[in-house]
Amino acid sequence: MTAALDTQPYTDSFGRRLRVFLGGSRVYWLVLPAFAFFLIFFVVPVMSLFLISIDRPVAGVVDPQWDFTAKNFVRFFTRATYYEAAIRSIGLASLVALVTLAIGYPLAYMIAKTENPGRNTFYMILVLCAMQLDMVIRLYGLMVLMGDNGLINRSLIDAGWISDPLPLMYNFTGVVVGLVQFTLPFMVLSLIGIIRSIHPSLEEAARSLGATRNVAFWKIIFPLSMPGILAGSLLVFAISISSYVVPALMGGWKVVVMPIHIYQQIAEMGKWQFGAAIAVVLFATSVIAVVIYQRYAAVTAGGRT
């Protein structure tokens, strides 16, 4: 009886602490569905992919053999075909991010500075309508436009300006155009909110102190919009480096990037272990490149991230 009385205050105290914790952390229950979804459909597949990548290579076998080896990664880094594809993927994604930024920033600036609600809504509809069609449909539209017998080449040949079709597709240029066309709305949407949040009085103060419009833009507007530039560039980079459909259709399997190798190894050859190793290298390459870019952009922006 004495022991029961001694433990009752502890039990009541624990119950009060538990109720206080649950009551004070109700907001965390709101993120539980998102956390569970992220855990089940991202963390678990990525960890499974990593386990398969260090498993003994056996063609046509997906189940883990629990015979861990580094042969898959050794094969990747000792054959130029594969590590050159990694370099090509990084260069392609970086170029697409730069081109998308150069095209998307003026458009985002115009939309952000448009005060008329009707025109602003119309511009936003033009940006968003490009995202309503499936990517494959949009790429087939580009193929009709840029093919050897497409609208561009046929118009130039009929006008007598060229005799042979321009190589607009099935090369590096075609892949860049396809990725820019696909990722441009993401860059524009990332920039509009940031540019719109810059108070006009800052530019007006610079102009009142003698700065020209161009100087005020490059000294005030552009540096303050660096968070949007960073966010949009990282988003475009991540989409471009992992894209498979665009290099396959617009590149005609001639621009071999890492997603192409992953598809070939898994879907065509059944080499799940080596394909998983390439996927792990792609994931690690993307994360490292994003971290390096973020550090560089943070220094360039003066710490504004």
Q: What is the CATH number of the domain that holds 193?
A: 1.10.3720.10
The 3-state DSSP class for residue 299 equals helix
Give the pLDDT band of residue 1 (cuts 50, 70, 90). very low
Q: Give the chain's domain count.
A: 1
The structure's pTM equals 0.82
Name the β-bridge partners of 68: 55
Q: Is residue 35 part of a domain?
A: no
**DSSP tag of 69:** -
Look over the chain and give the mean of its residue pLDDT values, rounded to a whole number: 83
CA 267 to chain CA centroid, nearest Å: 24
What residues have CB less than 8 Å from 4, skipping those under 6 apart?
A: none
Residue 231 lies in a domain: yes
Please provide residue 286's backbone torsions phi and psi, each rounded to the nearest 5 degrees.
-65, -45
Instruction: Give the tens place of pLDDT for each residue, 171-229.
Output: 899 999 999 999 999 999 999 989 988 888 888 888 888 888 888 888 888 888 888 88
> CA angle at residue 87 from 83 to 89, to 5 degrees?
110
pLDDT in tens, 105-121: 999 999 998 888 888 88
**Per-residue tokens: 99:** 């081109």
The answer to whether residue 108 is domain-embedded is yes
CB 168 within 8 A of CB 174: yes
Domain span at residue 163 reads: 80-300
- The string over 85-121, giving b where at least 16 C-beta atoms fall within 10 Å of a residue's C-beta and e elsewhere, is bbebbbebbbbbbebbbeebbebbbebbebeeeeebe
Assess if residue 118 is contained within a domain.
yes
